[in-house]
Structure 1
């Protein structure tokens, strides 16, 4: 049987209003009274009726999370953390797929649910600030993972330039001089790809290595097949890299497979680094060196920013928040044995 506030009040010997004050975190409740109410809540296993509470506040208790591809490992792992963080606030999360295309991303940003959702967390690899201008339907929105320069909404990312520079510098420190980059976007869309390419170029410049466009391979999507295709393109075009930095772990796993098919050893012949620290990379052969964003921190920051907006902070200028990252060294870049 689902217990009501009245049942808790009777068990604790207090008024329904007092129980409501405790449940809603009202501070001015005597400690002994709060203790009796909390004991009664525990004994009855009382759970607040979030639907009724949200309706009184004009909210649904539902937010949306939208990303390019639901089966992309990096997004799937990030989504899991978002759902966990949102649950702490009593939110249910609807998850949608945009396909990474600008039209669908604009449609989602313009409002996917009217009064059905309280807020939106969007990962928009195909959008720029001008695409988002004028699309606000009043629903609070936070951009997650993919940076939009001078965007109109709060956003949570990592420092893509620094992360790619660190990964590339690690490959160079191993003595690799022909370092390829896989994951550049074939169009101007995708600030994340552009920033990672800038970090790659910065590491080359710092090491006194000339930037060679032949060693930069674009990828229309960041999937395993795209990583494999990019490596095949590099090899058939006559370019022979001795290291590859991939802008996503899925690309890196595809690259490792294509190198194996070409008779090249990883890392003895070609060292490979990825981006994202997906679980597959910890169990691949070889295990994958990768840039590891703090995905849990990214998710919590996004949910916290959205909660601020949902709870009434609608006038603060857009906030740009960064989560930490680290480079995890594994077998795919281990120096060859002497």
Structure 2
């Protein structure tokens, strides 16, 4: 379990360092050090608070789905789950690690694997509703900002291929094991069969829970967009708040569809293109880095600390 995590952390740091260097190289000037002390602290606080509500709605979504499957844990533990999910999503390609972390954190509370898998899958499906719902807006945005859309697509493809190449190199040199345990595969097949049965029952009998979880999913992504808009207002109070929110939609799609760990690289380089119409060049680099730190990496750092604390605690309990 630890080896893939370490690979993911190294890969994330590699891509992130390269993207930050690129951002600073494009925007570096002596005025950059004068920007941060002048930020409007009220909007900065609202940006951070929006991300707290992001985790709150993420917590509510999973809490509702877990209760539908009779998985019991405290609401405060749900925040821990949300932060750890962000850590997993940040260090794995295409955010897949977030789902694996949900399996781990919910299984700790005594949940049967097939039930936990059903909850995690429903969480993912309800989260997709937001992106489906806003797809017409994305098409309209691409129509009105064709050049910017093409740049985002190129950034997504180039950084995705680079990330995939680095991942393959790491896997080739450090992970050549191909052994498979037959009994483990039988257990997996058995669990998948039970998961399919439970998921059908979930969709048939828990429609109210699915609706509430979907609503929470929509609200959490709205909070994500609000965080960026508030931070943009902290740098430049005169910007149109509605335009600041809507301009992030295409970038949000790019980040969450990116094959790079946590959308690293795509978020930073893409942010330069999207937010360049709102800020002066000397403000742009510091804004993009701070925006990514608030909306992604701060939560990932907190989640990483919590994850390794739980892992140490569980390992210590097993050895007793």
- Which of the five TM-score ranges fits, normalised by the shorter chain? under 0.3
More strand by share: 1
